[in-house]
Amino acid sequence: MSKFEDLFIIQIIGLLRNRKFSGDCDIRIESMPAHLQFAEGTLINIYYKDLTITDALDKILWAHQGEVNLIPKTYTVSDWDYISDMDQSIIKYSPPMPDRCPFMENISLEKSKFILQEKSIFMEIGQLIYNNVRSGVSSDITQIKKAVSHPELWNGLFHLMGSGEIMGDYGQNLSVFLLKIQSLIISNLQKILGKRVAELYQERLSQEMDEQWPNFPKHKNYDRVYGAYDRIYGTAPYRAWAMLLNQTITKTVSTAMGHSCYKKALALLKPEEVNLLQQLLDQKE
Amino acid sequence: MTIAIAIIWIILSAPIVLFPLLGVDQKILFDYSLLMQIITPTAAAVFCCITGLVFPKDDAMRKVWMLLGIGMLCWGIGAILFAAYPLIYEGQETPYPWYSDIGYLFLVPFVLAAFFVFKKSLHVEVPVWGWVTAAAFFLAALALSIIFNLSKFADSNTVLPYTITLLYTIGDPLLLGGTIIIGSILAGGAVGRPWWFVLIGLILYYTADLIYTYLVVKGQYATGNFIDIGWLLGFGCIAVAALMTRSLFKE
């Protein structure tokens, strides 16, 4: 199982719908296992703590960290209208945002190929958000918040992401951001400690990253940005990456000289970028 | 500051070459050379140690520069003992071997230990060209050392002078080879540049040792000889290397 962070399970369901996933999605939330079954992207069943399917849905949708594992299998589509049940859960249990998951402010939104569902209770706000997400390019959530000033904005977003009509992706921002820091560190290492040390750092970093986060089968239209990881893991791979940027220096040059290169790289970042990195490095309980 | 120190160092070393040309009294030259042979390694030791202090307490680089500093200081102590002999024995030249040689020889293990700690802290493989160049320098320096020390070996009628000569013969080539290995790892980086100064310093030091041996064997050496400048400038280069490293990491 691999970790997922800063991503609600409702979003994972939407992402799996979008990629028409068939099989088991095993999730561990605070050491409790949840077993979700999908058929061609449609959620067909949930097993969680002996709860009924709708109660289980209500309970798991709002967890935003845990572990997840996908096992492809063939299942038959059921007639459960889980999207309506998710909408009900959004009304009753959606968490205060962005307080519950502040990192969500850094997610990018992207339209999927699905057509907006007209029967949803979030049709109005959904339409507003949908119209403000540009086709073919990703939009920052902050831009959407500015364009769509609506008290139901987050509920609308949850509906769109849960139904797979809009996809949330951290990779767009974070992989580019971390690649920038990585290249600054490498350039400093090369400048200060020479080419050989810089090359060894790069080699070790990708080796460590591959060990921690093997980039699982890349999904169609997903890996446009170099270094982007599967969206279902949220920020987890990027947090590991941010951590390894510093830790690998110690494994390459175990002296203060290495840390000096790291510090010099961070000094070149804008204050908001330093803040973002700090948020990534902050470990959650 | 580094450039200023380098200029001061050159100015202070220049009289070794200039005094004989200007016809300055041999006694003044003798005393000046002895004094400078004490001051320069001690100053280099101080610069190495203050560079070490730039790094955190348990950092490998602190150990590296401290070890280099101790090595320089050992040589300085050797020079003090060397200078003390003529003072005690009414201006006579210091014999070989003497207690001063212990100080001189102790430079080698400390500098080699510094190289070892440095290499260990960098988890980078030494490039092939680094090994080849280091081996070439080592073998060439060793061959020259053996040639220049042959008479000394022949004249050694007891184990002690033979061992001391043997240590001098092997020590300097080891220092040269070790510096090249470190320099090759850091090639192209700002930290690598000071190491080339260390190498230049050790080449000057080695050359001075070599010519010193030759002149001693020929019975032509007297303190204040122009070759003394090799040691003074050699330590100067190491001091400059220390200051360059310090300026890189001083925050």
Q: B88-103 pLDDT, tens per residue?
A: 888 787 888 889 999 9
pLDDT of residue A219: 44
Q: What is the mean pLDDT of residues B34-61?
A: 94
d(CA A271, CA B121): 32
Let me know the angle formed at the C-alpha of B223 by B220 and B224, rounded to the nearest 5 degrees: 105
Which residue, among A39, A254, A35, A10, has the nearest Cα to A156 in the 3D structure?
A10
Cβ separation of B249 and A260 shorter than 8 Å?
yes
Q: Radius of gyration of chain A from Cα atoms?
A: 20
pLDDT of residue B208: 93
Q: Does A186 touch chain B (CB under 8 A)?
A: no
Place of tokens 């510093």: A246
Residue A150 and residue A263 share a domain: no
Q: What is the mean pLDDT of residues A10-24?
A: 93
pLDDT band at B216 (very low <50, low <70, confident <90, very high): confident
Highest-pLDDT range among A17-26, A191-200, B38-47, B148-157: B38-47
- The answer to whether B226 touches B17, Cβ cutoff 8 Å, is yes
pLDDT band at A285 (very low <50, low <70, confident <90, very high): very low
Instruction: Express each pLDDT in A212-234 by its tens digit.
Output: 876 654 444 444 444 578 889 99
pLDDT of residue A222: 44
Which of A151, A169, A187 is the C-terminal boundary of a domain? A169
Residue A106 and residue A71 share a domain: yes
Furthest C-alpha separation in chain B: 55
d(CA A242, CA A230): 16
pLDDT of residue B130: 93
- The answer to whether B249 touches B55, Cβ cutoff 8 Å, is yes
pLDDT of residue A137: 64
**What is the percent of chain A where pLDDT is above 70?**
92
Q: Is the pLDDT of residue A276 over 90?
A: yes
Instruction: Express each pLDDT in A64-110 by its tens digit.
Output: 999 999 999 999 988 888 888 999 999 999 898 888 998 998 888 88
Kindly give, in sequence order, each residue whose CB lies less than 8 Å from that of residue A65, ignoring residues fewer than 6 positions away.
A3, A4, A5, A6, A234, A284
Report the chain A residue with the minimal C-alpha distance to residue B122: A253
Q: What is the mean pLDDT of residues A159-187?
A: 90
Cβ burial of A96 (10 Å; 0-12, 13-18, 19+) is exposed
pLDDT of residue A220: 42
Residue A205 and residue A74 share a domain: no
Measured from the Cβ of residue A37, the count of other Cβ atoms closer than 10 Å reads 17
Q: Residue A18 is part of which domain span?
A: 2-169
Domains held by chain A: number: 2
Q: What is the mean pLDDT of residues B3-11?
A: 94
d(CA B102, CA A273): 57
Residue A177 and residue A163 share a domain: no
Residue A128 and residue A49 share a domain: yes
Which of A169, A197, A230 is the C-terminal boundary of a domain? A169
Residue A107 and residue A7 share a domain: yes
pLDDT of residue A25: 95
Q: Is the pLDDT of residue B5 over 70?
A: yes
Q: Does A190 touch chain B (CB under 8 A)?
A: yes
pLDDT of residue A235: 92
Q: Radius of gyration of chain B from Cα atoms?
A: 18
Cβ separation of A197 and B122 shorter than 8 Å?
yes
Q: What is the mean pLDDT of residues A153-157?
A: 89
Kindly give, in sequence order, each residue whose CB lies less than 8 Å from that of residue A132, ignoring residues fewer than 6 positions away.
A139, A143, A144, A147, A148
User: Which residues of chain B make contact with A255, given a CB cutoff of 8 A?
Assistant: 55, 59-61, 121-122
Q: What is the mean pLDDT of residues B184-200?
A: 87
According to CATH, what is the number of the domain B2-249?
1.20.1070
pLDDT of residue A224: 43
Residue A103 and residue A191 share a domain: no
Q: Is the pLDDT of residue A282 over 50?
A: yes
Q: Is the pLDDT of residue A119 over 90?
A: no
User: Which residues of chain B make contact with A200, given a CB cutoff of 8 A?
Assistant: 123-124
pLDDT of residue A187: 94
Which residue, among A195, A196, A177, has the nearest Cα to A245 in the 3D structure?
A177
Q: Is the pLDDT of residue B25 over 50?
A: yes
Averaged confidence pLDDT in chain B:
91
d(CA B234, CA B202): 6
- The answer to whether B34 touches B91, Cβ cutoff 8 Å, is no
- The answer to whether A17 touches A163, Cβ cutoff 8 Å, is yes
- The answer to whether B232 touches B34, Cβ cutoff 8 Å, is no
pLDDT band at A284 (very low <50, low <70, confident <90, very high): low
pLDDT of residue A210: 83
pLDDT of residue A215: 62
d(CA A184, CA A175): 14
**In the numeric block, which tokens belong to residue B46?**
């101080």
Which of A153, A169, A185 is the C-terminal boundary of a domain? A169
pLDDT band at B32 (very low <50, low <70, confident <90, very high): very high
Report the chain A residue with the minimal C-alpha distance to residue B192: A193
Q: Are strands A23-29 and A2-5 parallel, antiparallel or unpaired?
A: unpaired
User: Which residues of chain A make contact with B192, given a CB cutoff of 8 A?
Assistant: 193-194
Q: What's the 3-state SS for chain A?
A: CEEEECCCHHHHHHHHHHCCCCEEEEEEECCEEEEEEEECCEEEEEECCCCCHHHHHHHHCCCCEEEEEEEECCCCCCCCCHHHHHHHHHHHHCCCCCCCCHHHHHCEEEECCCCCCCCCCCHHHHHHHHHHCCCCCCEEHHHHHHHCCCCCHHHHHHHHHHCCCEEEECHHHHHHHHHHHHHHHHHHHHHHHCHHHHHHHHHHHHHHHHHHCCCCCCCCCCCCCCCCCCHHHECHHHHHHHHHHHHHHHHHECCHHHHHHHHHHHHCCCHHHHHHHHHHHCCCC
Instruction: Express each pLDDT in A247-266 by its tens digit.
Output: 999 888 877 888 889 999 99
Residue A45 and residue A150 share a domain: yes
Residue A165 and residue A90 share a domain: yes
d(CA A38, CA A67): 17
User: Which residues of chain A make contact with B189, given a CB cutoff of 8 A?
Assistant: 189-195, 197
d(CA A221, CA A35): 27
